[in-house]
Chains A and B, each alone.
Chain A
Amino acid sequence: MSTHSSRLVARVMVAPSVLLLLIWMIVPLAMTLYYSFRLYRLISPDRTGWVGFTNYIWFVNSPEFWQAMGNTLALVGGVLAITVTLGILIALLIDQPVKGQGVLRILVIAPFFVMPPVAASILENLFMHPQNGLFAALSMSFDAQPILFLQDYPMSSVIAIVSWQWLPFATLILLTALQSLSSEQIEAAEMDGASAFNRLRYIILPHMMRAITVVILIQTIFLLGIFGEIFTTTQGGPGSASTTLPYMIFKQAIAAKDIGRAAAGGIIAVILANIVAYFLMRGIGRHLDA
């Protein structure tokens, strides 16, 4: 099958994709690297020059940086924990012989198709708003003070919004994995007197491990870049309480108009993403039969 000429043809066919992605990656990356060592502020565009690692030093020494790192970690970790745990529970429920499974799937998948700005503004205004939101109405019906979600719990609110968007994805993939588990195996365990918890612990969860890994890998790819949800709701605030690393870079570029510092932050983010990518790709490599 793989003669010399067919190998050559194959290379030619792969080339456009690889070239395009290389350009898409390398050109902006090289430019970001260049700016990261330059003094470049949009307010004073005439003052330029090489500044060595000054931008990097400023970025890493900024108190906001460590908070942003923590927030990024909280966002990715929090959403993963919530979506995987709830995803397993809901998948187990839907997998039971219940009426109307097809309709259930359609209801559960819906949030995944809602674009991030819509999801964020609907949850922010119709649900979390302290005067007119549904949650406020709920608090008031218990004679309690409405919770100021975005003000007092900005990071948790963002995590909740993003979790709502990604829960369908986790649930449906875990459900698909669950449905491929043979019922004989479960029945055999049941006959042997295994309790419901032991069946879950020793048969169902191990069977779902591969799907859980895939959910974690794919979601991390998208979660590392979360931006729109924060932009629409908290704008990184109050203060920098919900500023993630991408959002901190955005603020440097757009609000502070300091391209040099934003670029240095960009390079730091790329390095961190690559470290995560390295570990994820090793994981995904084992689980995807390429």
Chain B
Amino acid sequence: MARAISPRRKALTTLAAWSAAFVIFFPVLWMVLTSLKTEPSAVAMPPQLFTADWTLENYAEVWQRSDYPRFFWNSVIIAFGSTLLGLAVAIPAAWAMAFVPGKRTKDLLMWMLSTKMMPAVAVMIPLYLVFLKLRLIDTHIGLVLALMLMNLPIIVWMLYTYFKEIPSEILEAARMDGAGVFKEIVYVLTPMALPGIASTLLLNVILAWNEAFWTIILTTTKAAPLSAFIASFSAPQGLFYAKLSAASTMAIAPILILGWFSQKQLVRGLTFGAVK
């Protein structure tokens, strides 16, 4: 940027950019602030900021009342379980599509993505009945399967985009040395594709963590993750603002922190490499 910009204009754009970012971020900030107030202070009108009564009690109370650790672990198991299983199924598929593309590879990829457009509500009852028959309702394995299938098209797409960038000469060299397909994947491809696989993992863990339809429909108590925890929390107790905010902060904090670390990869990942 060699353009001469007046200091005045620079100050103005900086101010405008920061204001815009602050407005977008503000609801998250306000939620955290509200979670640290006492209940009367949280609903006080006009809203209190410098005069508020600050406390950590809301967190203690949500923690005691709601069995947060169980919801948290369910979220971890479901988000990571579905993503890891998805990777296990998708890595071979993406490998084949990237390095041995056929005439219909592109159509196949498009078809996979199009399955994501089927409205979940439309097939809710049949899926519920199938899960009921298979005794998968409110189980970890049931949710892991459902979310794995839901995100499989995205996992395949992302991996495919990353694998495409690996020069195929390297694979050919490995093949010359007599490496079989399995060895090729484990010893040559995987180490090179590790950054891509890692960002695919991160993004899909985030998507699975925030999934709030199947997790609510297919669980009751035992396997319910944090999205179900929040849905149950917001329903009856209308005016428990501080506790609602504390519970919400606890539900999103783990993934917000994970997300901040992976935000660079997120853009590339979610656009399937179309925007660089």
Check if A and B associate.
Answer: yes
A-to-B contact residues, CB < 8 Å: 1-2, 6-7, 9-11, 13-14, 16-18, 20-21, 24-25, 27-29, 31-32, 35, 89-90, 93-94, 96-100, 104-119, 121-123, 125-127, 131-132, 134, 136-137, 140-141, 164, 167-169, 172-173, 176-177, 180, 183, 187, 190, 210-211, 214, 218, 221, 224-225, 227-228, 231-232, 245-247, 249-250, 253, 259, 262-263, 265-267, 269-270, 273-274, 276-277, 280-281, 284-285, 287-290
**B106, B110, B153, B160: which has the most chain A beta carbons within 10 Å?**
B110
The answer to the question of B186 belonging to the interface, with a C-beta cut-off of 8 Å to chain A, is no
**Known contacts A134-B30, A246-B121; is-contact A177 B275 (Cβ 8 Å):** yes
Q: A121 and B21: CB pair below 8 A?
A: no
**Known contacts A28-B126, A106-B260, A246-B119; is-contact A173 B275 (Cβ 8 Å):** yes
Q: How far is the CA of A6 from the CA of B99 in the complex (A)?
A: 10
Can you list, as one digit per residue, whether each of B142-173 has a CB less than 8 Å from chain A (1) or not (0)?
Answer: 00000001001100100010000000100010
**Known contacts A137-B45, A218-B270; is-contact A270 B125 (Cβ 8 Å):** no
Other-chain residue from B96, B129, B210, B241 in contact with A125 (beta carbon distance below 8 A): B241
Q: B117 and A274: CB pair below 8 A?
A: yes
- Beyond A9-B100, A107-B22, 17 additional pairs, beta carbon < 8 A: A1-B168, A2-B100, A9-B181, A17-B90, A21-B152, A25-B115, A93-B20, A109-B266, A110-B24, A126-B34, A176-B275, A190-B3, A225-B120, A225-B121, A273-B117, A285-B110, A288-B274
Q: B245 and A122: CB pair below 8 A?
A: yes
Q: How far is the CA of A126 from the CA of B252 in the complex (A)?
A: 17
Nearest residue (CB) in A for B227 is A115
Q: A137 and B46: CB pair below 8 A?
A: yes
Q: List 11 A-B contacts (CB under 8 A).
A: A7-B102, A18-B112, A98-B13, A108-B24, A140-B46, A164-B27, A214-B275, A221-B113, A225-B120, A250-B124, A253-B121
Nearest residue (CB) in B for A90 is B20
Q: A24 and B115: CB pair below 8 A?
A: yes
Q: B245 and A126: CB pair below 8 A?
A: yes
> Which A residues are CB-close (under 8 A) to B266?
109, 112, 172
Q: A214 and B89: CB pair below 8 A?
A: no
> Which A residues are CB-close (under 8 A) to B137?
none
The answer to the question of B194 belonging to the interface, with a C-beta cut-off of 8 Å to chain A, is no
Q: How far is the CA of A29 from the CA of B34 in the complex (A)?
A: 45
The answer to the question of B191 belonging to the interface, with a C-beta cut-off of 8 Å to chain A, is no
Can you list, as one digit per residue, whether each of B255-276 has a CB less than 8 Å from chain A (1) or not (0)?
Answer: 1101110010011101111111
> Which B residues are CB-close (under 8 A) to A140?
45-46
Q: A249 and B122: CB pair below 8 A?
A: yes
Q: A10 and B272: CB pair below 8 A?
A: no
Q: B210 and A116: CB pair below 8 A?
A: yes
**Known contacts A1-B172, A125-B241, A218-B271; is-contact A17 B156 (Cβ 8 Å):** yes
> Which B residues are CB-close (under 8 A) to A90?
17, 20-21, 24
In terms of DSSP, what is the predominant structure of the interface of chain A? helix
Other-chain residue from B118, B172, B252, B259 in contact with A118 (beta carbon distance below 8 A): B252
Distance (whole angstroms) from the CB of B43 to the closest CB of chain A = 5
The answer to the question of B93 belonging to the interface, with a C-beta cut-off of 8 Å to chain A, is yes
Q: How far is the CA of A109 from the CA of B149 in the complex (A)?
A: 26
Nearest residue (CB) in B for A95 is B17
Q: How far is the CA of A132 from the CA of B251 in the complex (A)?
A: 23
> Which A residues are CB-close (under 8 A) to B63?
none
> Which B residues are CB-close (under 8 A) to A134?
30, 47
Q: How far is the CA of A285 from the CA of B111 in the complex (A)?
A: 11
> Which B residues are CB-close (under 8 A) to A114?
28, 210, 252, 256
Q: A246 and B122: CB pair below 8 A?
A: yes
Q: B260 and A109: CB pair below 8 A?
A: yes
Q: A227 and B43: CB pair below 8 A?
A: no
Q: B121 and A269: CB pair below 8 A?
A: yes
Q: A285 and B251: CB pair below 8 A?
A: no
Distance (whole angstroms) from the CB of A230 to the closest CB of chain B = 11
